[in-house]
Amino acid sequence: METRKVQLSGGTTFTVSLPKQWATEQNISSGSVLYLHPEADGTLLIEAGSRKDTDQQVVRIDVSGYTTEMFGQVVKSMYLVGVSELVIVDRNGYDDDNLETAMDLCSNLSGLEIMEMAETKLTFRNIIDPSSISIRKSVLRMKLIVLSMHRDAVRAVVDDDARLARRVVARDNEADKLFCLVTRQFQRAIENLQTVEALETTRSELFEYYHTARQFERIGDHATKMVGLVMERDGVLADVNVDEFARLADTARRIIERAADVVLSDVDIDTAFSLLTEVTELDDAIDALDKSLYTREDATVAFTFGLLLDSVRRTAAYGRNIAEMGIQQTMRNERTDGTSITGLE
């Protein structure tokens, strides 16, 4: 780290010199243009060189010899890291499996379209303007989806409702689609300051939203896992009292909802601290119910019910992760603006 003293030039302009070695490495000379990005925390980021238009970024990849799975992973990965246009070349030509995978990706990734389809070349392009997307609203939408999924998953288990279980599985695709969109915007913002400006947010806020969305995605996966047990092992819990399971699962869902409010709706920090205690208490209750399974003669029932309880435990743990992020968010904001934190004065 180097330090520089601010100088007053012409009586009205503040100036500061640049480190010579850095300026030389960046090919900066008299008349060069630098891009300045003021941050809310007092940081001033300096971008040197020609300003790149990331929306025109084109990547070309030769996937000749790749399996269908590898082909799909390449396209999805390039989408997630923020590539705007992707040209996939396969000198051997595309088979039906690859084309079907390409169509599925366009259905499951927001904004991804196939713009050109030739015998040996596929061109994908993302048609969404980054500035038109609100990351916070996307995460709020994820919250509503996964809470609904979890609520219906518990009902499907209690009522042994395979039809409702299939609806939960179908909605998991919507949650995954939103999470991929949030991930793409987060990845773009890491590498490009213009994306942060277009989103009208800060990098710290983007990380908080991404972290929260990641927990939602995992919660959705566990809702899908629970209903999977209903569909795979039809009637296995017919002689089990699932009311206690439902009560514990409902408690886990309320923890998630309130924790999300701390991060997304500026609920006071006392709520986050109380949730940490509630998760610990829920863990103890799950342990007690889990131990009661040891005396059951039917191992299949005990195993299945144990898996359900594990999903409830993990769901609550993701709620705890969100609450902890809310605490960190509040502490960061207090450090930045010097305001007092409600409940800690």
3-state secondary structure 276-294: HHHHHHHHHHHHHHHHHHH
| pLDDT the model gives residue 335 | 63
In this predicted structure, what is the pLDDT of residue 47?
A: 75
Question: At 345, is the pLDDT very low, low, confident or very high (cuts 50, 70, 90)?
Answer: very low
Domain topology for 54-126: Translation Initiation Factor IF3 (3.30.110)
Q: Identify the burial level of 338 via C-beta atoms within 10 angstroms of its C-beta, where 0-12 means exposed, 13-18 middle and 19 or more buried.
A: exposed
| DSSP letter (8 states) at residue 339 | P
The helix/strand/coil state of 38 is strand
Kindly report the number of other CB atoms within 10 A of residue 45's CB atom: 12
Q: Which one of 3.40.50.300, 1.20.58.220, 1.20.1730.10, 3.10.20.440 gives the CATH number of domain 133-337? A: 1.20.58.220
Per-domain residue ranges of the chain = 7-47, 54-126, 133-337
> Which of 82-86, 168-172, 296-300, 341-345 bottoms out in mean pLDDT, i.e. has the lowest?
341-345
Is 133-337 the same fold as 54-126?
Answer: no
| Residues sharing a CB contact under 8 Å with residue 38, sequence separation 6 or more, in sequence order | 44
* pLDDT band (50, 70, 90) for residue 315: very high
Task: Please give the Cα distance from 320 to 42 (Å, whole number).
Answer: 31
C-alpha distances in Å from residue 71, one per residue of 62, 77, 101, 104? 10, 10, 8, 12
Give residue 238's pLDDT: 66
Q: For residue 84, with 0-12 CB atoms within 10 Å meaning exposed, 13-18 middle and 19 or more buried, which class applies?
A: buried
Per-range mean pLDDT, top range of 38-47, 48-57, 149-158? 149-158
Residue 326 φ/ψ, nearest 5 degrees: -65, -40
Element holding 35 (H helix, E strand): strand 35-38
The percent of residues above 90 in pLDDT, for the chain, comes to 54
